């Protein structure tokens, strides 16, 4: 059925969402309830950092595998050096990695390096600084040793069967190192969704086609791909579709080969806003349209062939804020993460903010610590097309739907947008 040229508002006809104009919390609940974790896949350890474990990891071996020395020095029988000085015969040389050749008898010592295997019969190590040479093949021990001294026992770090990490943990470098130490070469991790990104709008061009012809660059195509990569998703960019339902429909068919689809633009009530109609044509179940928030209100969440499709609004800040509130947590959930949300911290609002009651506002703010208190300062024009104030923002201050604003000095929750926790100086 040809939809183009069907007249003003024709694009809205016949598409009734199950839920409309819901609160942020309701939208979040509905969307998160509609997605579930993808399956697992096996990756080599070299690709495991930052991935989400899909298995419980238990130790299969002892670490260290044998008793070994914690010092450079001499492996001894503690009873031989209870009284010092004591002279011992040096019968073996044990650098790290070499098996002991023989058992230590009374009056004997073995030269040993850190990590060297403590020979049978020995129960202590005296450090080199507490010894001196006593002629060819002999050592004089100057300080007494107690049993167990400087010996790292087999299994003292990890014993077989020890629980190391739960499925759902994010693999940090230490986890990857531990897996390697256990002799693992591969690990089971949660799959990462392939996410289609489609921008819609007659007015849009790619950045390298910017000309003085009234068109604008599709910044959303790029902010979304970056946002996806930030959480380890693979974006599949499908370019710009004009406001033509036939083209958009064809592009969505392509997009639906991915696990998740994000489109931007064309989801409001304008006469060129085709997204909802096209998704309905494709058999989509319109779960939700419009959220009582600003920016980002005209969001559509549609399930097509069981795949989540997010129709995000076109204005770049609306796109990003809607991504933050709904798409990011949904994707993290699909990727097996347990923690889905950005941290929220309280901060003092530096200047008054006014709004009508009705929608929850996300105010772009810079955060500054002054006198031990966190202050939130709005970053300028809060219109939903003004990306600059988003560039300058550290977080989004939350002004509740029912409020008619917030006074200067008010304490507001601020959702952190990034972790700029690196400092030019080490700080200690
Ligand atoms: P729409 O929801 O299609 O009416 O778009 C709302 C506003 O966002 C319009 O001013 C569009 O020009 C703008 N817009 C739509 N898509 C994009 C995009 N991909 N990048 C930047 N701005 C966009
Ligand atoms: Mg448009």
In order along the chain (428 residues), what is the average pLDDT of each group of 10 residues? 45 76 98 97 98 97 95 97 96 93 96 96 97 96 97 96 96 98 97 98 97 96 98 96 98 98 96 95 97 96 97 98 98 96 97 98 96 96 97 98 98 93 85
Relative to the CA of 313, which ligand 1 atom is closest? 2
- Say which ligand is closest to the CA of 218: 1
- In angstroms, the CA 84 to CA 77 distance is 13
From 11, 201, 276, give the residue whose CB has the most ligand 1 atoms within 8 Å, as the site to mutate.
201
Q: HSE of 168 in the Cβ direction (CA atoms, 13 Å)? A: 7
CATH number, span 344-416: 2.40.340.10
Supply the pTM of this predicted model.
0.90
Position 342 scores a pLDDT of 96
Cα 243 to averaged position of ligand 2 atoms, centre (Å) = 7
- In angstroms, the CA 253 to CA 418 distance is 34
Cα 187 to averaged position of ligand 2 atoms, centre (Å) = 44
Cα 247 to averaged position of ligand 2 atoms, centre (Å) = 14
**If phi over 0 gives left and psi between -120 and 50 gives alpha, with beta otherwise, what is residue 314?**
alpha
Who surrounds ion ligand 2 at CB < 5 A?
201, 265-266
Q: Is 378 helix (H, G, I), strand (E, B) or coil?
A: strand
Position 420 scores a pLDDT of 77
Ligand 1, CB within 6 Å, residue ranges = 199, 201, 203-204, 216, 218-221, 264-268, 270, 313-316
85 prior amide bond cis, ω within 30: yes
Show the tokens assigned to 2.
């040809």
Cα 165 to averaged position of ligand 2 atoms, centre (Å) = 47
Cα 235 to averaged position of ligand 2 atoms, centre (Å) = 22
CATH number, span 68-152: 2.170.190.11
Q: CATH topology for 42-60+162-190?
A: Molybdopterin biosynthesis moea protein, domain 2 (3.90.105)
Cα 268 to averaged position of ligand 2 atoms, centre (Å) = 8
SS3 content of the chain, % helix, strand, coil (to 5): 20, 35, 45
Instruction: Answer yes or no: same fold for 68-152 and 344-416.
Output: no
Position 149 scores a pLDDT of 97
- In angstroms, the CA 108 to CA 118 distance is 13
- Say which ligand is closest to the CA of 222: 1
From 210, 216, 219, 314, give the residue whose CB has the most ligand 1 atoms within 8 Å, as the site to mutate.
314
From 207, 315, 384, give the residue whose CB has the most ligand 1 atoms within 8 Å, as the site to mutate.
315
Every domain of the chain and the residues it spans: 24-39+192-334, 42-60+162-190, 68-152, 344-416
- Say which ligand is closest to the CA of 207: 1
Position 3 scores a pLDDT of 45
- Say which ligand is closest to the CA of 265: 1
The residue whose CA has the least distance to atom 5 of ligand 1 is: 314
Position 421 scores a pLDDT of 75
Relative to the CA of 315, which ligand 1 atom is closest? 8
CATH class of this structure's domain 24-39+192-334: alpha beta
- Say which ligand is closest to the CA of 272: 2
Cα 265 to averaged position of ligand 2 atoms, centre (Å) = 5
Position 13 scores a pLDDT of 53
Show the tokens assigned to 199.
């921008």
Position 227 scores a pLDDT of 98
Largest distance between two CA atoms of the chain = 105
């Amino acid at each position: 059925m040809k939809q183009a040229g069907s007249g003003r508002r024709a694009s809205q006809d016949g598409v009734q969402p199950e839920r409309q104009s819901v609160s942020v919390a309701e939208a979040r609940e509905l969307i998160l309830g509609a997605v579930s974790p993808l399956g697992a896949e096996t990756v080599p350890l070299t690709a495991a950092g930052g991935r989400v474990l899909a298995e419980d990891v238990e130790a299969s071996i002892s670490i260290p595998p044998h008793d070994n020395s914690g010092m450079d020095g001499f492996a001894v029988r503690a009873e031989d050096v209870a009284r010092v000085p004591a002279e011992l015969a040096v019968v073996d040389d044990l650098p790290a990695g070499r098996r002991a050749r023989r058992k230590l008898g009374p009056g004997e010592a073995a030269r040993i390096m850190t990590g060297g295997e403590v020979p049978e019969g020995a129960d202590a190590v005296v450090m080199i600084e507490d010894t001196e040479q006593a002629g060819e093949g002999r050592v004089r021990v100057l300080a007494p040793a107690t049993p167990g001294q400087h010996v790292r026992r087999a299994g003292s770090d990890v014993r077989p069967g020890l629980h190391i990490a739960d499925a759902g943990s994010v693999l940090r470098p230490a986890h990857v190192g531990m897996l390697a130490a256990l002799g693992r070469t591969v690990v089971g991790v949660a799959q990462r969704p392939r996410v289609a990104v489609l921008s819609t709008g007659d007015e849009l061009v790619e950045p390298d086609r910017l000309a003085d012809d009234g068109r604008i660059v599709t910044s959303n195509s790029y902010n979304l791909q970056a946002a996806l990569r930030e959480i380890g998703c693979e974006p599949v960019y499908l370019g710009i579709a004009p406001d033509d339902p036939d083209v958009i429909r064809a592009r969505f068919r392509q997009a639906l080969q991915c696990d998740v689809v994000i489109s931007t633009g064309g989801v409001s009530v304008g006469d060129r806003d085709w997204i909802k109609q096209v998704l309905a044509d494709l058999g989509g179940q319109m779960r939700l349209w419009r959220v009582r928030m600003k920016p980002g209100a005209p969001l559509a969440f549609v399930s097509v062939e069981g795949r989540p499709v997010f129709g995000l609004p076109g204005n770049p800040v609306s796109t990003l804020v809607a991504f933050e509130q709904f798409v990011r947590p949904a994707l993290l959930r699909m990727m097996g993460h347990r923690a889905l949300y950005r941290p929220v911290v309280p901060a003092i609002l530096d200047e008054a903010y006014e709004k009508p009651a009705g929608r929850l506002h996300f105010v772009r703010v810079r955060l500054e610590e002054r006198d031990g208190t966190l202050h939130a300062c709005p970053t300028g024009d809060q219109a939903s097309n003004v990306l600059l104030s988003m560039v300058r923002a550290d977080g989004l201050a939350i002004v509740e739907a029912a409020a008619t604003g917030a006074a200067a000095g008010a304490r507001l929750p601020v959702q952190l947008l990034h972790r700029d926790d690196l400092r030019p100086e080490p700080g200690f």
